[in-house]
A and B are shown apart, each in its own frame.
Chain A
Amino acid sequence: MVGDSGWRRTATLMVFILPSLIPLIMFTLGPMAASAFISLLRWDLLRPARFIGLTNYANVLSDPDFRAAVMHTLVFILGYLPLVYLGGLGLALLVNQKLRGSSFFRSAFFLPVVTSWVVVALVWRWLLNPQTGVVNAALGAVGIAGPGWWTDPAWALPSIILASAWKDLGFVMVILLAGLQAIPTEYYEAGEVDGAGRWARFRHITMPLLSSSSFFVLVISLINSFQVFDQVWVMTGGGPAGASSVVVEQIVRHAFSYNQMGYASAMSWVLFAAILVVTVFQFRLQRRWVNYV
């Protein structure tokens, strides 16, 4: 361009890039670097910080509360992931039938996804109220004595798993539905001609061709479930007696209740490392079962 001098080009570039780059450095990249450094400190924000090397990491890894929180997070994942995946798959298959009104059902199933976690957790806390909740009333009507749900250490995590699966089913459904609709109908017609029944077509056509969508949804859901927090905080606060304490809840507690900034930062890096390792592992594993057409 005529007269487009160097400084003008630079000025143009700055106008476009700085409004995002400056905040990104100030509120994401900077804090990330700071977090790595803070994890090496003993710092309660009141007294001066003290450099203690990797002591926080050693302490985190041997902290029984943190270990319990890791176990609870894993139990959550083991309960939640199959439930939400199989449930979402079922919904996607149902909604994908060419039935009248299926778009209404799709919208209904997706509604919990757009609702905030706090609302969902409050509603489920009320539904699962041990004495006066409607779920135990319904169970009582058919002669089953309902459990103590979130007030019972043994049932606190299952309560959270149930509410979480209910909220996220619609998300899994929408992703898998997109995958289902991308499968060419000719494959099914060919299958029918060859005499494949419903189950055979599902097993040998649908599932292999749905594997890339399944992979996507499992990777995302796994990352999100490592970070489970809102529903725990509102439904149980990590209780009763720490029975549903999870990793992020421990981070928040140590940072903002006990003022252990270094310790909480070390925890957050352990969590990040775990997420990275598991995600890389999933990508490795995908060659075994995911088909890209």
Chain B
Amino acid sequence: MSDAPFAPRATAHATVSGRPTATRHLWRAVAYLALVVLAMAMLFPFAWMVATSLTSDAQLFVTPPQLIPSPMEPDNYGRVANLFPLGRFLANSLFVAAISTTLQVTTSALAAYAFSRLRFRGRDALFVVYLATLMVPMQVTIVPLFIEMRYLGLVNSYPGLLLPGIVSVFGTFLLRQAFLALPREMEEAAFIDGAGHWTVFRRIVVPLSLPAMATFAIFAFMASWNAFLWPLVVISSQDLMTLPVGLSNLQGQYSTAWNLVMAGATVSVIPILVVYVLAQRYVIRGVTLSGIKG
């Protein structure tokens, strides 16, 4: 009976559009339900990866599978590190990603300055050549690159792994856009005071473009961290492998030790997860701008 006074209101109470609020509430509830179910579906593979990484050998193939393993077996991480130089893969990935990010940001910023501030003959034509290389898929250059590295004696070495990734045309393009958007007054004042291009670049243009450079740096880091095809082709010895190649080898050798494979996978996800959580805005912007994924 206490509900009675409210009952007619629910239908009589109309919104601007003339729709009763009950319908709105229903839509809202359905949307929430869909979001929760979908989020669980999207996150489940990650949860399962972590759960498997903590499952003991004996419990690995029980039915029904256990979402929360008992007993917990954190030793799996130690075991996989003993069987496979996981720490080495991690260090290699970090090293390669750090170097290639630093070099890509530097070379891209320099080129972006040339294309946005320096006047020289053939500038626009050269920029078009840069952009045209964006269309060429990696697969077209991979064979000659490998042959080139063979001639240079760099197959299966850090330089061989790094060199093809020290320039980014995407980064050049992105930073050129950012530089073009900067107001020119400070630069003009600096030139009048006798500053050269190098000073203007280092003291004015770069400091004012830090958000764009951060976006690109994070993008470059993730691209290097997740790269697979070139490292797979150019590296053959275990102590030079990056995580993706090392993991795929681990899977090849211990194909049924899923708890160990998932422990390795979990370790390789953690650094990228940290970057993502700390710098989500830049990560999403970088991926969105490039259209290039992982």
- B-contacting residues of A (Cβ < 8 Å)? 1, 12-13, 15-17, 19-21, 23-24, 26-32, 34-35, 38, 45, 91, 94-95, 97, 99, 101-102, 104-105, 107-120, 122-127, 129, 131-132, 134, 137, 141, 166-171, 174-175, 178, 192, 216, 220, 223-224, 226-227, 229-230, 233-234, 248, 251-252, 255-256, 261, 264-265, 268-269, 271-272, 275-276
B294→A16 contact, CB < 8 A = no
A116→B272 contact, CB < 8 A = yes
Docked CA distance A258–B42 (Å): 39
B284→A110 contact, CB < 8 A = yes
Which residues in A have their C-beta under 8 angstroms from that of B142?
Answer: 251-252, 255, 268
A24→B261 contact, CB < 8 A = no
Within 8 A of A (CB), among B210-237: 222, 225-226, 228-229, 232-233
Q: Does B247 contact A (CB under 8 A)?
A: yes
A134→B118 contact, CB < 8 A = no
Q: Which of B45, B114, B139 contacts A251 (CB 8 A)?
A: B139
A171→B228 contact, CB < 8 A = no
- A-contacting residues of B (Cβ < 8 Å)? 16-17, 28, 31-32, 34-35, 38-39, 42-43, 45-46, 48-49, 52, 60-61, 63-65, 106-108, 110-111, 113-114, 118, 120, 126, 129-130, 133, 135-148, 150, 163-164, 166-167, 169, 172, 191, 196-198, 201, 222, 225-226, 228-229, 232-233, 243-245, 247-248, 251, 258, 261-262, 265, 268-269, 272-273, 275-276, 280, 283-284, 287-288, 291-294
A126→B283 contact, CB < 8 A = no
Tell whether A175 pairs with B28 under 8 Å between CB atoms, given A15-B198, A19-B110, A122-B265: no
Which residue on chain A has the smallest CB distance to residue B255? Answer: A125
Give, as a whole number of angstroms, the nearest-CB distance from B48 to chain A: 6
A268→B228 contact, CB < 8 A = no
Which residues in B have their C-beta under 8 angstroms from that of A124?
Answer: 45
Instruction: List 16 other contacts, CB 8 Å, given A17-B111, A268-B139.
Output: A16-B111, A26-B148, A32-B140, A35-B141, A91-B38, A107-B280, A111-B276, A114-B222, A117-B228, A171-B287, A175-B288, A227-B138, A252-B142, A252-B233, A268-B137, A272-B139
Could you jot down 16 A-B contacts, CB within 8 Å? Answer: A12-B196, A12-B197, A16-B201, A21-B126, A27-B166, A32-B136, A94-B34, A113-B294, A117-B244, A117-B294, A122-B262, A122-B265, A192-B17, A227-B139, A248-B229, A261-B143
Give, as a whole number of angstroms, the nearest-CB distance from A42 to chain B: 14
B272→A34 contact, CB < 8 A = no
Give, as a whole number of angstroms, the nearest-CB distance from A215 to chain B: 12
Docked CA distance A34–B147 (Å): 10
Which residues in A have their C-beta under 8 angstroms from that of B136?
Answer: 28, 32, 272
Docked CA distance A104–B201 (Å): 39
Docked CA distance A17–B248 (Å): 38
A174→B17 contact, CB < 8 A = no
Tell whether A122 pairs with B150 under 8 Å between CB atoms, given A34-B144, A109-B38: no
Q: Which of A30, A101, A116, A174 contacts B244 (CB 8 A)?
A: A116
Docked CA distance A13–B248 (Å): 44
Most buried by A among B49, B114, B251, B261: B114
Which residue on chain A has the smallest CB distance to residue B172? Answer: A20
Tell whether A16 pairs with B113 under 8 Å between CB atoms, given A94-B35, A171-B293: yes
Tell whether A17 pairs with B43 under 8 Å between CB atoms, given A32-B140, A122-B265: no
Q: Which of A120, A122, A171 contacts B251 (CB 8 A)?
A: A122
A224→B293 contact, CB < 8 A = yes
Docked CA distance A109–B276 (Å): 13
Which residues in A have their C-beta under 8 angstroms from that of B34?
Answer: 94
Tell whether A116 pairs with B248 under 8 Å between CB atoms, given A19-B106, A174-B284: no
Which residues in A have their C-beta under 8 angstroms from that of B225?
Answer: 116
Which residue on chain B has the smallest CB distance to residue A101? Answer: B35
Q: Which of B118, B137, B144 contacts A227 (CB 8 A)?
A: B137
Which residues in B have their C-beta under 8 angstroms from that of A107?
Answer: 280
Which residues in A have their C-beta under 8 angstroms from that of B150?
Answer: 45
B111→A275 contact, CB < 8 A = no
A126→B65 contact, CB < 8 A = no
Tell whether A216 pairs with B28 under 8 Å between CB atoms, given A35-B140, A227-B139, A230-B228: no
A166→B265 contact, CB < 8 A = no
Most buried by A among B120, B172, B291: B291
Q: Which of A21, A35, A171 contacts B144 (CB 8 A)?
A: A35
Which residues in A have their C-beta under 8 angstroms from that of B38?
Answer: 91, 94, 105, 109
B229→A230 contact, CB < 8 A = yes
A31→B294 contact, CB < 8 A = no
A119→B164 contact, CB < 8 A = no
Q: Which of B137, B146, B167 contacts A272 (CB 8 A)?
A: B137
Most buried by B among A95, A167, A255: A255
Docked CA distance A129–B60 (Å): 12
Give, as a whole number of angstroms, the nearest-CB distance from A151 to chain B: 12
Docked CA distance A265–B247 (Å): 28
Q: Which of B130, B141, B292 contacts A32 (CB 8 A)?
A: B141
Which residue on chain B has the smallest CB distance to residue A28? Answer: B133
Docked CA distance A96–B130 (Å): 37
Docked CA distance A264–B140 (Å): 9
Q: Which of B39, B60, B111, B280 contacts A105 (CB 8 A)?
A: B39
